[in-house]
Each structure stands twice: as C-alpha cells, then as structure tokens.
Amino acid sequence: MFKKIGAVALSTCLVLSAMSIPVFADKPDFAGKGNGNGKGGKKVENVIYMIPDGFSADYAANYRVYKGEDAVWDAHLKGMFTTYSANADITDSAAAGTALATGVKTNNGVIGLDPEGNELSTILDAAEEDGKSSGLVATSTITHATPASFVANVEDRNNQTEIARQYISSEVDVLLGGGQNMFLPEAEGGNQEELNLIEEASEAGFTYAQTREELLDSTDIEVEDGEKLLGLFAEEALAPELHRDESVEPSLAEMTETSIDILSEDKDGFFLMVEGSQIDWAGHANDAAWAMSDVAAFERAVEAAMEFAKKDGKTMVIVAGDHDTGGMTTGTGAVSGLHADILNDVTATGDFMAAQLDEGRSNVKEVVEEHTNLTLTEEEVQSIQAADSAPFAINTVVSNHAGIGWTSTNHTGADISIYAYGPQADKFVGFHDNTDLPKILAEILRVDFDN
C-alpha cells in the first residue's frame, strides 16, 4: 500500500514557492491581503468545498496555456495531498469522496461506510448539526459518487436510486445537477421501482426546478423557514460544457451562485459542495478539449464563490480535486512546445465528432476539421479510419496537436493540489492525505467532527 514518504519536505517547498505565482491585472482581484490572505484566526462561518473531479497539477498547467493567463486559483495554492484508498493504491471517486467528506479511508466503490461497513458521518453532517444549511451541486447526476459521499451511506456507488432516497430524507437544503431518472418510478421512465421521489421531495418542502429559468427564479427560497430546492436539469448527467444548451441547462457557475444566494440567508452559516464532475469523464476519454472547456466552466464557478467570500469575509473556499484521471501530461513528443490554446477552437467532444462520421468513415477530414479548426494530415485521417474506437482516435489526434499527452484512460495515483481562499486558509499549507482536509475544515469551522 502506498504511504506518505520522505518527499514531504520537497513537496512543501514546491508548494510554498508556487504561492508566489502572480495574478494578472485583468482578473478578479482575489490575491490581495485581507480575508483571502488566510492568516490569523478569524472565524469562518461558511465553507464552499469545490471539487474538480479528476483534476491534477498537469491539468492546471495545461489550463493555464489554454486560457493564456493564470487561473483564479493559482495564487492560492497551499499544499498537496495523497489519494490512495483503503484497499488500493489508486482510488476511485467513491473512496476519494468518502475520504474528503468523512476523514476516513474506505474501499473503492463504497460511499460513507468504513471498510468494516460502519456508517460514517461527514463534515457536511457536522456543519448541519451546528445549525448551518447545506447544499450539493454537480454536473453529473446529483446522485453520483462525489456528491453522494457527503450525505449517503451505501455499499455500492452504483446504487444511485438508494442515494436519491437518502437525499430526500436527509437535512440537505439544496440539490442541483442532473439525474431526474434516479428520482422517478419505472412507470414514468425512471429508475426507481415504485417511488416518485420528486413528489416525496415536494412533500418534504422542496421546490422543484427543471430548467435554467426555473432555477434563476428560485432565489427567494427561505431555508430558515424549512424551504428547500431540488433542481434536476437532465434525465441523466448534464451536457458537457461544449454542448450545453444555455436556454435549458444552467451553468455550473449559475448553480453555484443560486446555491450561495439561498444558503447565505441562514444566519448560522452554510456548507456547500460543488463538483465539476465531467473533467474526470473527459480524462477517461483522453479528450483534451472537453477537459479544458469543463475546467473553464468550473473556474467560473470558483470565481463566483471567491467573489462572495471576498465580500462576506467569513467564508472559506477550498478547491481540491479527488484524484487525477488519465495521467495528462504537459507536453508530448508528438509536437514541439505547449499548444493547449488551440483547444479554444474545438467545438465538440470526440464522441460527438465520431457520431457524425459516415459508415465507412470517409468524411473524417471534413468532420474533424469543421469542429477543430485543425488541418489533418493523411496519416492522421487514416489513423482515425482504421481505429477500433473512432472517438479515442480523434481525441488522440487533437491532443497531439495541442501538445498534451496521456498515460491512462483510468485514474492515477498522482498527488493532488489544494487551493484555499479565506480566513485561516494557511491551515492547508503543507503535504497532507485526503483524509486531513475535512478535519482541517472542522477545526476551522469549530464543529464537532469525529469518526
């Protein structure tokens, strides 16, 4: 089993040196002194826990090239942490989410239970017991592994219908994402055997939103009066940012802003978890354009959170991925230099482009060039035509042009960066394990948290 090793001192030095990264003048100013500086013992009443699923340091480096300037989190790098699970060197999202939520290692595939099957409480539970309101936001189904880890207790992460049932009977106040089918009965095209959890949610005080417009109209919900919000904007997961219908599906930033607007009315404070879910899925597909565009959507959500924290003065914003996906590299032998900026011209995922190919794949050049602004060589065209997986072959060609490499289609054991903004942010400085993060948050919030 992988353990923390003697590289702690080196990692910490690297982290501390990275904290001097400059902030560009035309970006939101979150780098100055005051509440974002992270020093001192000023009280924290709110936590916004932001998880870019699958995101690691190489994603951050490529995103900087893609964007052309620093990301909003770069100036707030505080540390790094290990991610191994209780039964594997390489974690899955269920075990990683459980560690980030409960401070306890568990086996891959398990949510909210320790390796012996005992139920675990979460940092969200601790915040609720302290009188705070709470919320979960994701671009996957809201019942997916990472958000579920903060509320549910199930042996199998795939049991999303049970996770949905546990949500409705929990104390959580805001639930926003995809996954309508997880709440509806089979008779209505859903995955529940008989239960209509949307009806049960209404009886439990939830307002139900299905569209972006309905979400944006829901900010008058009073959580202190027992009102809640359930927003499910797709039958399954939301669309990748490259294909999001802005008239129907809200952005991750809009879901974050709405959640903050509602939860911040609670005088006792709030705990909000926000996941950029599909960065991970793009990594599994080795789809660099999908990855970078969803990182951009996630950054807009982080900017919204930090803007609130800057004005509020009592809010901690923490940005920490759960694990690396795909082993993305910054640079590849296929081309010279870093060219992730060309991904700004890509308008579709590899899956979408592959679906536009005719039966004989004779139109590869036309389809790929239409959606990427690249000029393909004959060798590249033939590689896509001959590939067992056309989407993967397209993604490989695009990544090669961008100077991005991949080592896997699965998760890796890479260490993950921690970024923190707000009072006491410096408590995250150093080299940690993923189980340390909720314990540090509990110390900052001054809540009882002991598994």
DSSP 361: -
Q: How far is CA 125 from CA 109, 159, 168, 425, in A?
A: 21, 21, 15, 22
The structure tokens listed for 285 are: 């597909």
**Amino acid sitting at position 25:** A
Backbone angles phi, psi at 15, to 5 degrees: -60, -50
Marked catalytic residue, from 11, 56, 85, 93: 93
Residue 85 a catalytic site member: no
Burial of 427 (0-12, 13-18, 19+ CB in 10 A): buried
Q: Are 281 and 69 in contact (CB under 8 A)?
A: no
Q: Which secondary-structure segment (H or E) carries 8?
A: helix 8-18
As annotated, the binding site includes 53, 144, 146, 275, 280, 284, 322-323, 411
CB atoms within 10 A of CB 216: 14
Q: Residue 34 carries which DSSP code?
A: S
**Token pair recorded at residue 206:** 């939830």
Cα-based distances in Å from 301 to 56, 89, 252, 417, 419: 18, 31, 6, 18, 14
Q: How many residues does the chain have?
A: 451
Distance of alpha carbon 134 from alpha carbon 271, whole angstroms: 5
The answer to whether 175 and 142 have CB atoms below 8 angstroms apart is yes
Separation CA 182–CA 197 (nearest Å):
8
**Which SS3 state, helix, strand or coil, does residue 276 take?**
strand
Residues at the annotated binding site for Zn(2+)? Answer: 53, 280, 284, 322-323, 411
Q: Where are the alpha helices (DSSP H) in 271-363?
A: 278-284, 288-312, 350-355
Rounded CA separation 432/44 (Å): 21
DSSP string, 72-93: TTGGGEEEEEE---SS-SS--H
**What are the residue numbers of the active site?**
93
